């Protein structure tokens, strides 16, 4: 297992380099630059040129990339050009908000998704199943931007249960968590239901029925346990999205976080911040996937056997 | 069924109790929450000397020498009086006594001597370019010796970029000034600041030196003021409606009917400071031909746009400047107004004959032009209407939508664009220099206009005036010449609107200043 872990970590290095290059090039190839956000509109071309040179933006792109990568590997994410703060400070300030929101949404989608998926499988073709399927359909198809506004209208405006936006109290987390979480609920619920129905057709389940165990007990104690492996796979793939899955939702709910920081810095073409945020999101996905693989290996003896 | 019944009951009870206990907590007495203008969102600093994008909080933290009223007249704040020499080569300012910065340091002539040279080499250097040196006359009198006359000195002094920071704190904080802390002498002190999210301000209890535009000379009536940044307009409106915030410092026209329908809310409409216009790239065909430029400009039906898109609010624009500026009062014959018949006649004269489908053509080439705009509901709607209006005279305009940062960079390629729908928010005639000077071709001179006579008139308006009156007269001449060349089409002047909760705030009937800012905020009470 340790060898497997080391091998996977080594494999991440070329992926990291490739991602860093893509991240760097994406933002530099988009029209616009941060200097436009630093100078007054009436500034002379000479004033612009001074700033362009000060931030090394007149250097060839590959040279700029090399400098940035070297600093990154040395633990220095650089200073924001427009925001004039160390990028690491900006990320450190915003990351906890994203982790809190994404983590709770992940927890919510896991618990509710498995529960509803299991219920739908246990009571297949009943009104419960149909209700869950409707939930799955809505959760999969409604754009989160629109769903967020709908939830605000219902729970914040009509019922006045929760604040519309912001991050001042814990109650402000409820609607964004629901908005992000519902999409996850749909996915987890669908996979749980399908996996349980699949396992339910296996021979050992037939044997359990023959032994006289109740349907509900077979489903919840035996079928669900075996069905959790594909669910764990899906969940592990979503771990990385804990950080990056809330970009638009942070915008709708005017919440701090990496998503809000990314949108603000993108609008200002604040290259170091955009690069830092995108790299953080990419790394979260990469590490999340790795963690997911490890969880799977821990859960499934067949995978462990293959690793030996 | 029974499996669900109990959890469902528990859930219902939990939601019911939550509704009782989690209801939005109203802000405490004397505390207020404002949502800043979306245009000011994302301001990265509270450093008036180096910042190029400042929000309303800046003027609450820093006092300026002078402030403006709604009619753009000047009133003293840290300066009690001022006068310019007859030749415009010196200005004498009497300074207010008894003023202290938030760090306890006194405000006096030495502060001005330190402050003005600080602009040299910064992004805002042009504000003080004309000042040669500061001479201290006495503790509370300074004389500014000029390199050349600058009638717009007072205008510059009234902008947010000329807020005066505490020298001691400024030097101590270095590059961190405005980011980790900001120390001025204004009615509020900066407590905390998160870029793109919010700024928390606390009242400066020592403040007693508000301008004469405020009934309340200080301290402010609001004890704690939070300035929130909510980029999504629907979210901001719903926050106001539900009491999450007390005031929106800008309200899109679309939301006005909804605000007016709410009894607890009040919307206030003020004269606008913004102009929508359509630059015409004079360097590319077919707009190298002045007749085609004039035709396109005359095809824009400003009244239709005002009525159909903005519910009749605001005003049509017939020239380049905000109508409250003296320099906008040019000879009416230079104003551009909708005239489709003349537009068609001009295109005929230019050789563009009506072809199939009503689109004009010349030598087999259809009159198809690029019409660029930036994303945002208002921009897209205005652009779509103009597209239809151009089609009515036989011009086929193809729309491209870009985000603001991208589109500005694309203008710099100089010849890729032809027409564009843009807007600016500014109340100084020198915007003409910014947008039409031959030194700034591509962007911001999107019209790509480079004309010897225009440059001469521009130079005279910008640097050749000794007095305000001379400056106004010179800018009028320059403005008229710009208009005569049809390098853009004027479109619309939106109003400024803000809205507040009547249950929470008592706002003076008369709004002082060009925008809802310090002059009025000093007088706002929390109920």
How large is the ipTM?
A: 0.80
Strands B368-374 and B419-420: parallel
- What local confidence, expressed as pLDDT, does residue B18 receive? 38
Query: Are B63 and B158 in contact, with CB atoms under 8 Å apart?
Result: no
- Using the predicted structure, report yes or no on whether residue B21 has a pLDDT greater than 80: no
Residues 109-128 of B with CB under 8 A from A: 123-126
Chain A contact set for B3 (CB, 8 A): 119
Confidence band (pLDDT; 50, 70, 90) for B29? low
Neighbours of B499 (CB within 10 A): 27
Contact between B197 and A269 using a beta-carbon 8 Å cutoff: no
- Which of A52-56, B20-24, B208-212 is least confident? B20-24
Closest residue of A to B426, CA-based? Answer: A41
Q: Give how far B392 is from chain A: nearest CA, Å.
A: 33
B2 touches chain A (CB under 8 A): no
- Which of A70-79, A161-170, B15-24, B504-513 is least confident? B15-24
Strands B141-146 and B90-95: antiparallel
- What local confidence, expressed as pLDDT, does residue A292 receive? 78
Contact between A256 and B196 using a beta-carbon 8 Å cutoff: yes
Q: Give how far A88 is from chain B: nearest CA, Å.
A: 14
Tokens of B305: 């746009």
Tokens of B414: 């100089």
- What local confidence, expressed as pLDDT, does residue A217 receive? 86
Confidence band (pLDDT; 50, 70, 90) for B161? very high
Of the residues A27, A38, A161, the best mutation for testing chain B's interface (the one with the most B CB atoms within 10 Å of its CB) is: A161
Give the whole-angstrom CA distance, residue B248 versus residue B242.
13
Tokens of A94: 């915003």
| β-sheet bridge partners, residue B106 | B100
> pLDDT tens digits for A200-249?
888 998 898 888 888 888 888 889 888 888 888 888 777 777 777 778 88
B27 touches chain A (CB under 8 A): no
Tell me the count of A-B CB pairs closer than 8 A: 138
Give the whole-angstrom CA distance, residue A226 versus residue A213.
17
Question: Please, what is the average pLDDT of chain A?
Answer: 87
**What does the pLDDT average to over B21-41?**
71
- Which of A7-11, A115-119, B198-202, B282-286 is least confident? A7-11
Give the whole-angstrom CA distance, residue B397 versus residue B407.
17
B52 touches chain A (CB under 8 A): yes
Confidence band (pLDDT; 50, 70, 90) for A8? confident
Closest Cα partner for B127 from B387, B476, B430? Answer: B430
Strands B74-76 and B66-68: antiparallel
Query: Are B285 and B481 in contact, with CB atoms under 8 Å apart?
Result: no
- What local confidence, expressed as pLDDT, does residue B169 receive? 97
Question: Please, what is the average pLDDT of chain B?
Answer: 91
Chain B contact set for A46 (CB, 8 A): none
- What local confidence, expressed as pLDDT, does residue B17 receive? 37
**pLDDT higher at B524 or A141:** B524
Cβ-nearest to A84 among B3, B45, B410:
B45
Give the whole-angstrom CA distance, residue A51 versus residue B506.
45
- What local confidence, expressed as pLDDT, does residue B222 receive? 97
Report pTM: 0.85
**What does the pLDDT average to over B331-343?**
97
Q: To the nearest 10°, the Cα dihedral for B344, B348, B351, B355? A: 70
- What local confidence, expressed as pLDDT, does residue A288 receive? 82
Closest Cα partner for B272 from B497, B94, B58? Answer: B497
Q: What angle do CA B86, B91, B93 make, to 5 degrees?
A: 135
Confidence band (pLDDT; 50, 70, 90) for A276? very high
Chain A contact set for B444 (CB, 8 A): 41-42
**What does the pLDDT average to over A75-97?**
90
Percent above pLDDT 90 for chain A: 35
**What does the pLDDT average to over A83-100?**
91
**pLDDT higher at B277 or A143:** B277
Maximum mean pLDDT: which of A80-89, A122-131, B37-46, B411-420? B411-420
Q: Give how far A141 is from chain B: nearest CA, Å.
A: 22
Cβ-nearest to B238 among A47, A128, A156:
A156
- What local confidence, expressed as pLDDT, does residue B458 receive? 95
Closest residue of B to A262, CA-based? Answer: B196
| β-sheet bridge partners, residue B198 | B194, B228
Percent above pLDDT 90 for chain B: 76
């Amino acid at each position: 297992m340790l060898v497997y872990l080391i091998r996977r970590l080594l494999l991440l290095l070329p992926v990291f380099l490739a991602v860093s290059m893509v991240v760097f090039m994406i933002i530099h190839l988009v029209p616009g630059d941060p200097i436009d956000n630093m100078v007054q509109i009436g500034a002379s071309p000479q004033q612009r040129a001074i700033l362009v040179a000060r931030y090394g933006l007149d250097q060839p792109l590959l040279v700029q990339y090399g400098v940035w990568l070297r600093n990154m590997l040395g633990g220095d994410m650089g200073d924001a050009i427009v925001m004039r703060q160390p990028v690491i400070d900006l990320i450190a300030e915003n990351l906890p908000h994203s982790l809190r929101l994404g983590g709770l949404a992940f927890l919510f989608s896991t618990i509710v998704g498995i529960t509803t998926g299991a219920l739908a499988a246990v009571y297949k073709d009943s009104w419960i199943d149909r209700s869950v399927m409707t939930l799955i359909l809505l959760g999969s198809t409604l754009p989160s931007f629109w769903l967020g506004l709908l939830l605000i209208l219902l729970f914040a405006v009509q019922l006045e249960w929760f604040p519309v936006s912001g991050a001042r109290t814990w109650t402000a987390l409820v609607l964004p968590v629901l908005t992000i979480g519902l999409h996850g609920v749909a996915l987890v619920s669908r996979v749980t239901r399908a996996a349980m129905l699949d396992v339910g057709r296996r021979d050992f389940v037939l044997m359990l029925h023959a032994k006289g165990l109740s349907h509900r007990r077979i489903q919840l104690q035996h079928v669900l346990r075996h069905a959790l492996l594909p669910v764990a796979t899906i969940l592990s793939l979503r771990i990385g999205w804990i950080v990056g899955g809330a970009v638009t939702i942070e915008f709708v709910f005017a919440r701090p976080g990496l998503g809000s920081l990314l949108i603000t810095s993108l609008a200002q073409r604040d290259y170091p911040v955009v690069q830092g945020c995108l790299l953080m999101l990419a790394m979260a996905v990469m590490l999340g996937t790795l963690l997911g693989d490890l969880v799977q290996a821990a859960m499934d003896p067949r995978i462990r056997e293959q690793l030996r | 069924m029974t499996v669900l019944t109990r959890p469902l009951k528990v859930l219902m009870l939990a939601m019911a109790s939550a509704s009782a206990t989690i209801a939005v907590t109203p802000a405490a007495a004397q505390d207020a929450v404002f949502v800043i203008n979306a245009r000011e969102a994302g301001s990265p600093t509270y450093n008036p000397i180096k910042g190029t994008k400042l929000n309303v909080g800046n003027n609450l933290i820093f006092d300026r020498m002078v402030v403006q009223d709604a009619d753009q007249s000047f009133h003293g704040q840290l300066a009690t009086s001022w006068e310019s020499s007859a030749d415009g080569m010196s200005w004498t300012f009497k300074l207010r006594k008894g003023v202290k910065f938030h760090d306890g340091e006194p405000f006096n002539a030495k502060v001005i001597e330190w402050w003005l040279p600080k602009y040299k080499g910064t992004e805002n250097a042009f504000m003080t370019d004309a000042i040669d040196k500061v001479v201290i006359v006495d503790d509370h009198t300074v004389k500014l010796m000029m390199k050349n006359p600058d009638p717009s000195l007072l205008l510059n002094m009234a902008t947010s970029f000329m807020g005066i920071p505490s020298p001691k704190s400024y030097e101590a904080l270095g590059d961190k000034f405005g980011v980790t802390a900001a120390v001025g002498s204004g009615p509020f002190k900066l407590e905390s600041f998160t870029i793109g999210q919010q700024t928390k301000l606390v009242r400066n209890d020592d403040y007693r030196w508000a301008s004469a535009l405020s009934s309340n000379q200080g301290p402010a009536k609001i004890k704690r003021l939070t300035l929130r940044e909510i980029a999504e307009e629907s979210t901001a409106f719903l926050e106001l409606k539900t009491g999450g915030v007390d005031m929106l410092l800008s309200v899109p026209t679309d939301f006005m009917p909804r605000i007016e329908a709410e009894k607890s809310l009040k919307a206030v409409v003020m004269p606008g400071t913004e102009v929508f216009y359509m630059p015409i790239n004079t360097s590319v065909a077919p707009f190298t031909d002045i007749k085609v430029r004039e035709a396109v400009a005359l095809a824009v039906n400003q009244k239709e746009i005002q009525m159909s898109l903005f519910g009749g609010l605001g005003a049509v624009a017939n020239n380049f400047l905000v109508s409250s500026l003296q320099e906008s009062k040019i000879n009416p014959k230079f104003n551009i107004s909708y005239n489709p018949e003349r537009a068609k006649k001009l295109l005929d004269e230019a050789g563009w004959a009506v072809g199939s489908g009503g689109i004009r053509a010349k030598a087999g080439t259809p009159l198809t032009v690029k019409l660029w705009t930036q994303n945002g509901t208002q921009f897209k709607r205005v652009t779509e209407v103009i597209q239809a209006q151009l089609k009515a005279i036989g011009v086929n305009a193809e729309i491209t939508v870009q985000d603001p940062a991208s589109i500005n960079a694309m203008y710099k390629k100089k010849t890729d664009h032809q027409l564009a729908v843009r807007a600016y928010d500014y109340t100084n005639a020198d915007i003409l220099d910014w947008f039409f000077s031959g030194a700034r071709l591509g962007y911001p001179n999107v019209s790509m206009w480079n004309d010897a006579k225009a440059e001469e008139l521009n130079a005279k308006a910008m640097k050749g005036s000794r007095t305000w009156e001379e400056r106004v007269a010179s800018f009028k001449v320059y403005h008229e010449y710009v208009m005569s060349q049809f390098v853009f089409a004027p479109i619309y002047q939106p109003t400024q609107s803000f809205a507040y909760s009547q249950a929470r705030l008592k706002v003076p009937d008369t709004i002082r200043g060009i925008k809802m800012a310090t002059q009025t905020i000093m007088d706002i009470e929390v109920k």
